[in-house]
Every structure is written in C-alpha cells, then in structure tokens.
Amino acid sequence: MIKSPEGTGKVQPGERLQHREDPGPTTSECYPPGACVLGLLVGTLDVVLDSSARVAPYRILYQTPDSLVYWTIACGGSRKEITEHWEWLEQNLLQTLSIFENENDITTFVRGKIQGIIAEYNKINDVKEDDDTEKFKEAIVKFHRLFGMPEEEKLVNYYSCSYWKGKVPRQGWMYLSINHLCFYSFLMGREAKLVIRWVDITQLEKRATLFLPDVIKVSTRSSEHFFSVFLNINETFKLMVQLANIAMRQLLDNEGFEQDQSLPKLKKKSPKKVSALKRDLDARAKSERYRALFRLPKDEKLDGHTDCTLWTPFNKMHILGQMFVSTNYICFTSKEENLCSLIIPLREVTIVEKADSSSVLPSPLSISTRNRMTFLFANLKDRDFLVQRISDFLQQTTSRIYSDKEFAGSYNSSDDEAKEFLKEQAWKIHFAEYGQGICMYRTEKTRELVLKGIPESMRGELWLLLSGAINEKATHPGYYEDLVEKSMGKYNLATEEIERDLHRSLPEHPAFQNEMGIAALRRVLTAYAFRNPNIGYCQAMNIVTSVLLLYAKEEEAFWLLVALCERMLPDYYNTRVVGALVDQGVFEELARDYVPQLYDCMQDLGVISTISLSWFLTLFLSVMPFESAVVVVDCFFYEGIKVIFQLALAVLDANVDKLLNCKDDGEAMTVLGRYLDSVTNKDSTLPPIPHLHSLLSDDVEPYPEVDIFRLIRTSYEKFGTIRADLIEQMRFKQRLKVIQTLEDTTKRNVVRTIVTETSFTIDELEELYALFKAEHLTSCYWGGSSNALDRHDPSLPYLEQYRIDFEQFKGMFALLFPWACGAHSDVLASRLFQLLDENGDSLINFREFVSGLSAACHGDLTEKLKLLYKMHVLPEPSSDQDEPDSAFEATQYFFEDITPECTHVVGLESRSKHSADDGFVTVSLKPDRGKRANSQENRIYLRLWTTENKSKSKNAKDLPKLNQGQFIELCKTMYNMFSEDPNEQELYHATAAVTSLLLEIGEVGKLFITQPAKEAGGGGACTQGVLGVPFSRKGPGQPYGAESAASHPASLAGDSEEHSLGGQMEDIQLEDSSPRDHGAASSMLISDDDTKDDSSMSSYSVLSAGSHEEDKLHCEDIGEDTVLVRSGQGSAALPGSTCLDRDWAITFEQFLASLLTEPALVKYFDKPVCMMARITSAKNIRMMGKALPSASDYEISALSG
C-alpha cells in the first residue's frame, strides 16, 4: 500500500503511485552525489538500451494482492497531471470497488472499465487506429522532443550505432526521418546531437576500415561523419540510400514525399519495431526493382512474390524461380539468370484454376491466356491465398480489358535478300516454340536473336514488346489522340524548340524530307511535351523519335518515347540532362575499372565527358551510321543501359593504342569519330544513307570497316559481367555528386550575377542563397500557403527559379532583418514584401529579397531611411479587384500636391490587432469608387520610380510625398522598431522629438499650397482632420501605451467620455462623428514639469481636436508630459466624418533632415549589422525549430548546410 499522490494519507487497496526520477543532466542539482551518479548511469543505460522513452515519469499502477503483475491505469509527465488522473479515479472508480468481494472480480472490473473509457474516447474524438507499433510511437515522441522537429516531420526508423567524434566513439541512436538524419547520445552527463538534412548530403558510402569491418560515411559540403557498430548495417544503409534519393528527387522536381496509404495493415502481434513509413519505403523499393526487371509501367505496385516452379514446354523441364503478383501482372523469373522469364498481363488471362496435386507436381496452378497459351506453376506454398489475390485483381481488371492488338500472324518480307529472310524465319520458329506476343517465354535464345539483329519488318513491334511500351499503349486507348488534340495550336518554349529542331532530325533520310514525316515528328514531340512538362523537350529527343517513327506507327512511337524518357533513361532529357551526367560519372568509374591503362590519359584529355553525352543521349544514333545504330537500339530495348556502357567500353578498348598517343582532346575525338564512322551493318537491306558524323579530310586514309555484330559480341565477351544492380549502386553515388554540383553551380552563378548589385560579400550571399533555397524546400515537405511547384520553375533564369511567398518571407524577415522586432514586425514585413514584389505575382525571387536586405543591413544612413520611407509611401494592399486607376491619376497622387479636387482620402478604420493588414492606410484616388489600391497600382508606382531614377540623378527629390495617414504608420513602425533595443528610452524620446518637428513642418507646408482648402459646409469636402501620435514616458517594466487617458483629464478638450486602454500605437484611430457647423480652436497644453532629468525627458504628442464630445481621438498613451499643439487658426469642425488632413504632407528630404537632428537615431541607423551571425542563428532556428543551446551543452552540435 502506498499513499495517494496528494499525500493526504488516503490509502486505497491495490493502487500504487510510481515516480521515476529524470536521469537528465539536471539531476545533480536536486539530489546528493550518490543519487547524481546513479541518475547519470540510469540515463546512459536509457539511451544505450532505448528504455527511457517507454517509461513515463509518473504512473498509477493496479496490483492484485499476492501478485507480482502490475496493470498501468494512468501515466503523466508531471505530478500535477497524475494528480488530476488520481482525483478522477477517486470520484468515478474507487468508490465502486467496495461492492466487490472477490479480488479477481475487482481486477476484471478495473481493466474492463479503463479499456472501455479508452475505446469511448477514441470513438468520440474519431481517433483512427495507427499502423505503428507502441514502441515506435514512443520513439516518434522522443525524436520530436530531442530535435525540436515539427509534427509534420515523419520518423522512418531508428538504429543503435556509434558515432565517431575524432577517435572516440559515442554510443547512441540514429534517427532517420524523411528529411533529416539525426543522432543522439547521452553518456555520463555528456549530451551529443547531430542533425543533417538529406538534401545537403554529397556522399554516402559503406566501407570497411582496418579496425572496423563496416562503417557508413556521410559527407556534406563542410564535414564528414562516420557511424559504425550497427546491428544490421545493410538494412540501415539501404534505407539511408533510399531517403537520400528522395531528397535528390526533391531538389530536381520540388515534390514533397507522399506516404502511400494503401498498404495492408500490420498484424496486431507483430513484434517488429517497424513503422508504417518504413513499410511504405520497403514496398516502394521492391516495386521499383520489380518494374525495372520486367519493364512494367511506372505506377505498377508489387503485391507479393513467392517461390515456385514453372513448366517450360520448349525443354520439358520444371524451372525453379519466383512468381511476382501485382495489380495488373503475373511475372516469373528463374533463379538462374537469363534462363527464362515470363510476363502475363491480367488483361490477357482467361482462366486461373487449381490443378490436382501429386507427388510429382505439388500444389499446381494453371493460368490460360487469350492467345491459347497455358502456363503451369507448381510448388506454391500458399496456393489458396495466391489464387484469391489473383481473382481479386482479375475482378478489378475485367472492366479495363481493352482490345490489345496482337502481333501479326506472319511477317512477309518484300525484300529478297537471304540474310533478312533467314532472320525472319528464325523469329517465326522462335514464336512457334516459345510463344508469341507479350506472354512469350523469354530465354537465352531470345537474347541471341536480338543480338543478331531484329528484321526490319518486325523491328517496330518487337521494340514495343521488349521495352514494355506495349503495356502502356494497351491500357491507355485513345490517350495519344486526345493529347494531340489538346496540344494542337498551343505554343510555349518547348514547342518553339521543337519547331527549330524538326528539320535537323535525320535530314539525310527520305522520310524526313517531306512534310508528312515532319508533321508526324512534330505531333509526337509536342504531345510528349504536354504529357510531361517537367521534361518538355530536350535536344536529342528529336533524333531518337525520328528513328522510332521509321519503324513504328505514330502512336507506338509516342509510347516508345514515354518508355525511353520515363523508365529506361530516367532524367536523361530534363532541362539539366541530369541522368546523362549521372551515367557519364558511372562510365568514368567503369572505365577506371575495365580499361585502367587508358583512364588517366582520358581524364587528362577530358574526353570522357565529351563523348559520353553524345553517345548516351542519342543511343549512338548521332555518331554511328544509321543502319548500324539501329542494331544498338535493338539491344538497348532488350538489355537496357548496360548495353550502352558495354559498347562504349568496347569502343575505347579497341582504340587504346591510338588514344594513348593523342596529344589533345581534338585528336582523341577524331580517332573515336573515325572509328565509329567505320562501323557497318552488312546485313542491312536499307538503301545507303549519306553519313556526316565524321569530318574526314581527303588525304586521310579511311578507317578499316568494323562489323557492328562483331563489336556487340566483343562487348559482351569482355564487359558482360557488368550487372544492372551494380549500375544502380554507381548511379546513386554519382547522382548525389551531380545534383549537388549542379546546385553549387547554380549558387555560384546567382552570386556572381548579383554580387556587384549589393553590399554583401560572396560568402554572405552564398549563405543567404542556401537559406533562401532551404526555406523554399522546407515548404515542400512541411507545407506552405502556396504550391511549391508554382514557386519553382526550372525554365526561369537561376535568379528566379526559387521564389517565396509572403508567409515564408515573413519568417525570414523576422530572422534576418534588423528592424524585425515588436508587435509591428509582421506589418512591416508586409510593407517590405509589397515593395520588393515588383511584378505583383505575390512571390519574390532571390535578387528581390537580397536587394531589400542589403539596403536594410549594409546601406548607408540615407539608403536605410529611403527604404523605410518607400515602405510607407505605398498604398495599402486591398482585395478590391476592380480595374486599376490610370497611370495619370497615380502620377497626380504621387508627384503633385494633394488637393481637394484630385484626391479623397479615406480615414483610418479601427482594425483588429490580428488583422493581416493592420496599420495600413487605405487611399482612394477617385471619390466615387471607394477603396482602390492593388498590386497593379504598386507596379505603376514602382515603374514611375524606376523611370525617374533612370532619367534623373538618383536623389531624394524623386520620392513622392508622405501624406498624413502614411506618416502615422511610419511613426508606428519607428515606435515598435526600438522596443527591444538597449537604448530604447533614448530612442523613444528622440523619435518623439523628430515626430513633433515633422508635424510642425507639415503644418507650415500647408501655408504654401497654392489652392487653399474650401470652407467646411455640407458637401463632401474634407477639412483638416485630427492627428494623434503620442509618445508616453515608459516606466520600469511597463509596456508603452499602458497609461489611461482617463487619468489625464486635460489631455482632450471637452472630452468627458472614458477612453479604452489600448496596446501600442496601432490603437490610434479616428472615429466617425456627427456633423458640426461650429469649430473650436484646439488648446495648447504644455507640461509645466520642466525640471525632469534626461532619463525622464518630456515626450510630446501633437493633437488637434474639435470641441464637441463626439469629435474626439482615442489616444490611450497620453501621459503627464503630453503637449497639445494647435494646428492652426480657424480650423473648421469635421463635416460629416472625421478624416485625415489631405493637405498635410512631408517630403523625404524633410524626414531625413529632421532625423539627422537626433544623434541617438543617427547612431541607431548607422549601427553596423553582423550578417553572418544572423545567418548562423537563422540556420539553427530553421533546422531545429529553436535556437541551439550554448556550445557547452553539446560535445557534438553540428548542423548541415
């Protein structure tokens, strides 16, 4: 028995309170030394054994007497929380227990009651069942708590490992989330954290060292990290590779990760600590390998696979292999490579039946197809379940069966040449023996026939079959026709490039010397550009497509192009040809391994990078005679990219001696060009086509002919050991390198372009660009107010590729701009964003962002004040979508004196402090059209400023005047700008003095307006309004604006109403009042307390008010030392409504001159800004969600980027 948590002495049978002390670093402050050591030891064991996450600090347990089993009733993170649970139990449960006599009945009741409460809560709050195990949920909580990650950041898995800091290992836990690699260790009071973004990783490799057999090395641009002692290093590394690939895809396409919600549920009693996300990623990896193995459409998902045998009638054998079942296909591949493979689309299946088992053929399954082929599988472990799954998929497929065109029954060649005829006969015999169409058995014999060359008459259909394009064509009937129709008459950058290259596509071939061939090529390329805007069109696509059109129908050529661009040559044809650059790196590695004697020479000459792009992008079509190159395409559609690598290595190997003697890259290119030009196809029945790939002078002896089939055979003999999985591993390594190199190149180009336009150093600009891009990428995976794809357009110049919206800008403004402080920060950010958004698309690019930041941080005093002035001279953003006012009216507003005839200024309205546009002045340029201010007007003003600056010398006279409402907002900004400054009081009084001086200047300026204001009458003219800009003395610990105007009855003449308390200067407002024909001169009240010292210097507030009770201002900040200054003699009362004084205005020169009279303000605006410190702080906050503790708290405290 243990007392209740309150310590009241109330004891309940069976109930226990358990408190587990926090083993963190603060233990030593509360407990004696022995307890401190014990706490550190417990904390270390918690981290190493991963136990702390599963034990709450406070728990209420239920124990049956004479039993060692405890049941957890409630848990809490604090004593207050657990006390609340206890009180609820006392009121709702404990009293009921007295009616039971049997202890077992009590236990059953308590357990049932608690489980019922949980179930009812979940039902009421619509809590959905989670796939994650309890252990993993605890790890998620710990991950978010340790690293300050938002809830949107999804943990995938975590692993025990050691992190090497120098030569010292630290045992801890590696947490792998979708966007970050994190490590945490707590050993004997020393805490270590590491956070690296996947998008910052430049190298990720698994390697062995002298002391450790397996180490994972993670490299970023600035550091290297080593991890070892994994329980399962292969699983960990595979997951890291997958997450890094997702990050690279994000850099390429700016698409966030979307979790697959269609995965089957995890079994309830699964002991494995696996998350739903980990299962999703595992399923993706398996599906990706499955699609690549069988050339299936990119949206096909693997459902499962099982070991089995397949009866092969062509050799009367049962072949051991694996059956794969997915939504639309049943596939088989033999354990022995290239022995046999099979693809059965479910759209072709007619019968699935279980045959009778026997000792020779256990658990057989028979599948029949529409072309009268029957496939017999056996040795299936769970045949009934498999048949049920296939039946379910067949039911889904039934409604989507299309009339799939089969191969023609016979191929009649019009050519009499013997070799071509023999090839056709060989294929016919093959079809008769192994089957015809998509469901045929694919064996070593099939590959041999392909390597010997596909007959001209069968090439198009076999390309469709071998590439898998036939599947996409069969499942998308009418798709191409619809796409052509939609793209007709549409023009963009892609279509312009297509038109330019149409006549450069195989111009020597007769098919493209007439409009019919050109039109077909145009339709296919344009249709694909509209299908896949991310690729659009890339040079080399025209050459490949023109060859496809020679052998396939127009629609078939389109689907072959889809297979090439999206599956077989991934990322080859995007705007930066990333895929080709990746394979260029792979080719360099292969060359180093397979032709080492040539590698150093080729690197010195720089030839590999030159040759590989032209060879790979066009599949040798642009560098080899046409009739020979199509044989390469035959092999490519069957074997994939490994054929291209093998052939390229064979070409280098055949020219080793000549290349070693080359003195420059030009000579090496000539050697390779002459060799490729001499590759011939003696079996070809095509008419000779002029070949212009090699520039040979007359006096150079022609290169000896090279037979294409012999060259291909040699490539298989010497380099056939290259495997597809090896290529994928090398591609990953090169992909990291290529994409990060491209990103660095982009950054350098951007910095080089704008470094002369700003005052930032190159290092500062590079860090700012990284932060700006990271802000954009963060919104991709943690969400944002606008679509990330709308903000990133790879076709734009580098400076405009990444753009941020206002919400993102607001966050960066708060982190980087020196003026971002106080409650007015968001309003100021909105003004600056409006000023920088020159094209009015509600997005700003890096150049625009840097221009504003440079002026605010590194500009001289005049530049900073000019920026501040410009931010307030713009009209308020408005949702009014009416047509904008004319530029002439805008010019009148900005560049002429504001007179009653041309402008009607609407008064300030009271707004909620939380309003997004709080603090703006709404200006209407037409008296009959209401509020009129939008982004198009802003562009007019900005264009006027730009034009004026170009035509005149840049000086302050080009800036428009600041009216009274805008001046109020400028005062608010300055008031809030100093709220966190150490010299706040001094700056506050200086601002008050400048404000008073400017008010007087504005009043005096009205005397020089040529057209005097009309007398107040019944009309709509607006007389001089009321302006209140109070600055009260701030007491210790008291926020500005906390004094009540009611305590100062002299502050407002005739005002007996009670004034509400307000917050800051935002609360100054002008209220409507009833019309008055009589006016009363404002009184001037001057504080008689002239003996105050400097620290309590008098502040000023210049006010003008009518004598009637309702003609009043809400000025909540008026203090004892307030001064009321009369605006002028004979001021009329407000006619109809109180509004701003339209005749009052000041210029930038007046604003600048007035501010220069106050040394405190001059010192503040002249104060240098340490930009790198702000950038570092911003990176830490953006990475961790909060500022990092001091360095002493961490032994490791690394942030990537």
Return d(Cα 1028, Cα 1070) in angstroms, integer: 9
- Give the pLDDT band (50/70/90) at residue 1009: low
Cβ distance 435 to 441 under 8 Å?
Answer: yes
**Which amino acid, residue 609?**
S
Return d(Cα 315, Cα 871) in angstroms, integer: 83
Q: What is the SS3 assignment for 366? A: strand
Residues 6+ apart with CB under 8 A from 798: 746, 749, 750, 753
Q: For residue 186, how far is the Cα from the chain centroid?
A: 32
**pLDDT value at residue 1184:** 56
Which of 143-157, 674-688, 973-987, 1115-1129 is least confident? 1115-1129
Q: Work out the percent of the chain whose per-residue pLDDT is above 70.
A: 68
Evaluate the CA torsion angle 1014, 1016, 1017, 1019 in order and state its sign: positive
Backbone angles phi, psi at 822, to 5 degrees: 80, 175
State which of 204-208, 706-710, 856-860, 868-872 shows the largest mean pLDDT. 706-710
**Residues, the chain:** 1201
The tally of CA atoms less than 13 A away on the side-chain side of residue 615 is 26
Q: What is the SS3 assignment for 286? A: helix
Return d(Cα 210, Cα 1198) in angstroms, integer: 27
- Torsion angle of C-alpha atoms 632, 636, 637, 640, degrees rounded to 10: 180
State which of 293-297, 972-976, 1012-1016 shows the largest mean pLDDT. 293-297
Task: For residue 220, give Cα distances in angstroms to 224, 226, 252.
Answer: 6, 12, 18
Return d(Cα 23, Cα 43) in angstroms, integer: 5
Backbone angles phi, psi at 376, to 5 degrees: -115, 110
Instruction: Kindly give the pairing relationship between strand 1113-1114 and strand 1069-1070.
Output: antiparallel
Token digits for 238?
């595979």
Return d(Cα 585, Cα 569) in angstroms, integer: 15
DSSP-derived letter for residue 172 is E
More confident residue, 372 or 777: 372
Residue 697 has pLDDT above 90, yes or no: no
- Per-residue pLDDT of 133-153, as tens digits, reads 778 888 898 999 888 888 888
Cβ distance 956 to 1152 under 8 Å?
Answer: yes
- Per-residue pLDDT of 1149-1198, as tens digits, reads 989 999 899 998 998 888 888 888 888 888 777 665 544 333 333 334 44
Q: What does pLDDT average to over the chain?
A: 74
What value does the mean pLDDT take over residues 146-165? Answer: 88
Q: Is 0.85 topped by the overall pTM?
A: no
The tally of CA atoms less than 13 A away on the side-chain side of residue 480 is 19
DSSP-derived letter for residue 1124 is B
**Which amino acid, residue 893?**
Y
DSSP-derived letter for residue 52 is G
Residue 264 has pLDDT above 60, yes or no: no
Return d(Cα 798, Cα 796) in angstroms, integer: 6
Token digits for 293?
């193995």
**pLDDT value at residue 1094:** 39
Residue 31 has pLDDT above 90, yes or no: no
What value does the mean pLDDT take over residues 194-216? Answer: 86
Enumerate the H helices of 878-1006 as residue ranges.
887-895, 935-951, 964-977, 984-1006
Cβ distance 611 to 672 under 8 Å?
Answer: yes
What value does the mean pLDDT take over residues 620-635? Answer: 93
**Which among 730, 954, 754 has a CA at the least distance from the CA of 205?**
730
More confident residue, 394 or 1016: 394
Cβ distance 44 to 187 under 8 Å?
Answer: yes
- Give the pLDDT band (50/70/90) at residue 261: low
What value does the mean pLDDT take over residues 773-778? Answer: 78
Cβ distance 1141 to 1027 under 8 Å?
Answer: yes
CB atoms < 10 A from the CB of 766, how many? 18
**pLDDT value at residue 970:** 87
Cβ distance 959 to 873 under 8 Å?
Answer: yes
Q: What is the SS3 assignment for 1? A: coil
The tally of CA atoms less than 13 A away on the side-chain side of residue 717 is 7
**pLDDT value at residue 1175:** 87
**pLDDT value at residue 15:** 54
Task: For residue 794, give Cα distances in angstroms to 2, 98, 252, 800.
Answer: 68, 73, 9, 9
Token digits for 263?
């995965």
- Per-residue pLDDT of 634-680, as tens digits, reads 999 999 999 999 999 999 999 999 999 988 888 998 999 999 999 99
- Per-residue pLDDT of 217-234, as tens digits, reads 999 988 999 999 888 899
E strands, 668-818, where? 679-680, 706-707, 803-804
**pLDDT value at residue 690:** 54
Token digits for 1167?
């104060």
Q: Work out the percent of the chain whose per-residue pLDDT is above 90.
A: 32
Return d(Cα 442, Cα 431) in angstroms, integer: 10
Return d(Cα 874, Cα 936) in angstroms, integer: 12
What value does the mean pLDDT take over residues 952-961? Answer: 61
Task: For residue 594, give Cα distances in angstroms to 591, 609, 1018.
Answer: 5, 17, 97
**pLDDT value at residue 283:** 92
